[in-house]
Structure 1
Amino acid sequence: MRTLLATLISLSLLVWLSVIAMAADGAGTVRLGIEAVDSDLQYFDISLEPGESRELTVRFSNHGEIGTGASVFAANVYSLHGGGMGMGDIDAPRTGATEWLDLESTELELEPDESVEQAFTVAVPEDTDPGDYITAVVIQNTDPIGVGDDDERFDQTVRQGIAVAIDVPGDREPAMEFGEVRHSVSGGSSVIEVELDNTGNTNLRPAGNFVLQDAAGDELASTPIGLDTIYAGTGTVIEVTLTDELPPGDYFIDVAVEDEETGASASAEDLSFNVAAPEATPEPDDGLPGAVESVDDRLAGDPVLIAVIVGITAIIGIILFTAIVLIGRSRRSTTPSSVSAPVEPASTSSPASTPPEKPRKARSTIRQLSPSRRKHSPDSE
């Protein structure tokens, strides 16, 4: 009977560990793809006069091991920090060239290795000024995927996008200008950010130099600047990280950049910022520590996992209950009724348990195919 009990308990533990493994890996791998059909490039690059339109076709694919729901939509494009193509969220209102696409947001169900083609039209309004314009077509998994263990768990959205670059013929007027300066501290190092706006009507890819001075005019740092594409009508941020944290005081920046292809340039002298003295650290409070989030709260956001765990727990309970009943019957059949042995109470203790920390949430990075400038190779975010 003891052998039977050990077998049942081992089986229960095996089932439970299998459930945990499935919960960790059950999301599978999602690998979505997008490509421009009938294009020699990895993105769309077209030229349209005001009032003209053109039909394009895009192919959406699931290269993963499991079927998945996917959302496809047209997205606004902006310049990332340091340049390059960033794509807006599915819920963001459409602006600029994104309004020229008749591609509506759509939900797809893609099985492994399945591809779907979808046509859409780009129509340039008749009153459009000459210049470089850009928008994007995006595919992403509809439901985020939980990745990692309990201590390092986050939701992942797999997103792929391609650019739709539109050239409206006419004169180009390249221009740039600097904006505000900001200072922050990260990991014990000072981080200086300088805004740079592309105020012209053509894409730019500038480079230049950055010099930092203290209030006495002494040079503290000098570094070259190399930026990725800044799209027409958008802005970016030049970010310089120093090796140490700057002490409190006033500081000045001399910065200059130039786009080699167009000759557009911008410079600024004595851009200033102040590093304030750190505030005094308040005395620690002797109050009780904050409450730790309960396990029930953590599981509340995953009803499928809750249902699986409850079901498996019930099965394990039935197995253990059956084992206990069988052991009780065996003892009654082998012990004389006239003899009773005293049973000493068993001491039990429950080890203290601390609820796990709240899982951290994060968003996966994205990869997209984009033009570095009109008629050039695509940039990557």
Structure 2
Amino acid sequence: MTEAVLVLNAGSSSIKFALYSLAEIAGMPHVRGKIESIRRAPVFKAVDRNGQELDKGSLGSIDVSSDHHELTAHLLDWVEQHDDGHEVVAIGHRVVHGGRDFSAPVQINREVLEKLKGFNSLAPLHQPNNLAPIEALFARDANVIQVACFDTSFHRTQTHLAELFALPRRFMEEGVIRYGFHGLSYEYISGALTKHLGDDAGGRIIVAHLGNGASLCAIENRKSVATSMGFTALDGLVMGSRCGTLDPGVVLYLMQERGMNADQIQHLLYNESGLLGVSGISNNMQVLLESDRAEAKEAVDLFCYRAASEIASLIVPLQGLDAIVFTAGIGENSPAIRAEICRNLNWLDIALDDRANAANKTIISTDSSAITVSVIPTDEESVIAKATRKLFLAGN
């Protein structure tokens, strides 16, 4: 049997997974897949390292109402039954929020799990679902080695000033600071910069992680200097269904004039806003790009305008800019969005190569561009796998 690391990335309605041989984590996963549409009509998809589909649509007999706990158990059963050549010796998890307590990957025990539950209110769409498979695995086998890798960890290199809100100091001392998110994606990109950008890799770079959740990170010497997300994953850019930066007075208005309570406002800001709220059509960027409705165009234009504005603001902590890197679902696959964001930044003397952009090439700027513009696919799972392997080997 070949020892293996299983990576689980649980979201609000999905569980992504990847199985890596312990000795080959730098390569492609042996198996990769996901369970989608959780709590509606769960669908299972998996492919081997050659891209061949495995048991599409099948996870055995599961109820449509199955939650993350139940589906984690089904997934482990599937891995054990369909991959006789690998023995899972450690499981790594993406956990969105590590607060101030966790600035690096950590092996999970019951005490760690309880601390992580304390951050549920700071990432209500993500944290409870990140932790559900961990609890399910403890119930299945309390001795299995589990490792948490945090989206907040990469940003702990920010200066104290970059973390501060202009609130009374007592709140900062209680942990009300700018944490930043999508750190596993940024960690992967920072490690890939030398390969793709050469001499610019250690320079002043803004990475745009653009997906249903979206953020920016200013990176210098491959370390986080500042980021667009703050105390929660609501801050910063316009997202699929999240509002991004919002005047706090709007929240006061919703409470005082509209009589909305905290739960209603939370649902509004996380689930009904962003591209979905502005367009009234969809949170899916591709759907909006294909629509001929004015509301769809306005949502797309706002997304691009705000992204460009936030990129401009991150030039301040960097004191200049050498490169922009686009990544994640929209960033990697939407030439139109990349072009519009760069058009809003044409005062930086950015010049895109239209053919390279349309083809999603690694370098999409021209040789004459003052700023290098790049597209680098992210791989959060490999970051989690490497960290899990390191902690497993350290304890054995």
- Both proteins in one fold, TM over 0.5: no
Greater strand share, 1 or 2? 1
Q: Which has the higher contact order (CA 8 A, sep 6+)?
A: 1
If you compute each CA radius of gyration, which structure gives the higher value, 1 or 2? 1
Greater helix share, 1 or 2? 2
TM-score norm. by structure 2 comes to 0.20
TM-score norm. by structure 1 comes to 0.20
